[in-house]
Amino acid sequence: MSRGQTDSLPGFAYRFSDPALLRQALTHRSHGDSHYERLEFLGDALLNFVVAESLYHQRPHVNEGDLSRLRSRLVRDSTLAKIAQEVDLGDSLRLGGGELKSGGYLRESILADCLEAIIGAVYLDGGFESARSLVLRLLASRIESLPDAEALKDPKTRLQELLQARGLPLPKYRLVAESGADHAKQFQVACCVALLDEVVEASAGSRRKAEQAAARQVLARLDQASPP
């Protein structure tokens, strides 16, 4: 069978009735007009739904915000790119121009997008159940090993919830200083909570990151202060 007529990929356990769909899903826009971007739109939506449904059933006591956070971790580019690498998807990708494959290096986003496109192509080729099984098969080990929702929260959220649970006022963040040239600004932020006597300060390249860093430090000190 010639390369143009491949009807399946190693690691996907699915055989296409219409190999042209698979070929389109494997084609980057740099390689040709019939590329994967529309399929990626479809596959991304299906992936998000199938993962939502799976988490909904598997975590009956987890609230909506935590379900969203858990899903983000499963469907983000870095996770999808790793899965794509595990099944050697890069070997089958059709890319134009030497620059994209230079040094054997493939951008994470291209691998992730292509994986979504294949999911979309399987949906069109084999229907909802085929695509759903594929998604669950590809993600199985990662769904299995997801951490508790709590561990995925950012420090500001965790700090806020910890204070609210004890009926205490919300933390106060204040911008203390901005320094550096425009392209390399540093923001210093102070965080003040009722449970600590001192004000904790942290710096980072954006105000938001500095606030998160300050909240992380406050959480660490509270952890040390309270016996387990």
Active site residues: 44, 116
Would you count residue 172 as binding a second copy (CB under 8 A)?
no
Closer to a second copy at the Cβ: 113 or 200? 113
Distance (Å, whole) CA 120 – CA 124: 6
Quick one: DSSP state of residue 26?
A: T
Closer to a second copy at the Cβ: 51 or 202? 51
Distance (Å, whole) CA 17 – CA 40: 19
Would you count residue 178 as binding a second copy (CB under 8 A)?
no
Closer to a second copy at the Cβ: 65 or 180? 65
The piece of 5-13, 49-57, 165-173, 214-222 that touches a second copy (CB under 8 A) is 49-57
Closer to a second copy at the Cβ: 69 or 142? 69
Q: What's the token pair of residue 30?
A: 């740099």
Q: What's the token pair of residue 118?
A: 């294949």
Shortest distance (Å) from residue 118 CB to a second copy: 15
- Using CB under 8 A, pick the residue from 10, 13, 38, 179 that binds a second copy: 38
User: Interior CA angle at 25 toward 19 and 28, to 5°?
Assistant: 130
Distance (Å, whole) CA 197 – CA 152: 28
Q: Which residues pair with 192 in a beta bridge?
A: 172
The piece of 10-18, 46-54, 83-91, 191-199 that touches a second copy (CB under 8 A) is 46-54
Q: Which residues pair with 221 in a beta bridge?
A: none
The piece of 40-48, 76-84, 89-97, 204-212 that touches a second copy (CB under 8 A) is 40-48
Task: Give backbone dihedrals phi and psi of 179, rounded to 5 degrees, phi first.
Answer: -145, 170
Helical segments of the chain, H only: 19-25, 37-58, 64-75, 77-86, 108-126, 128-144, 155-165, 207-225
The footprint of a second copy on residues 100-129 (CB under 8 A) is 123, 128
CA quadruple 131, 51, 107, 117: dihedral, nearest 10: 20
Would you count residue 53 as binding a second copy (CB under 8 A)?
yes
The footprint of a second copy on residues 62-81 (CB under 8 A) is 62-64, 67-68
Closer to a second copy at the Cβ: 8 or 72? 72
Shortest distance (Å) from residue 65 CB to a second copy: 8
> Which stretches of the chain bind a second copy, using CB under 8 A?
37-38, 40-42, 44-46, 48-49, 51-53, 56, 62-64, 67-68, 123, 128
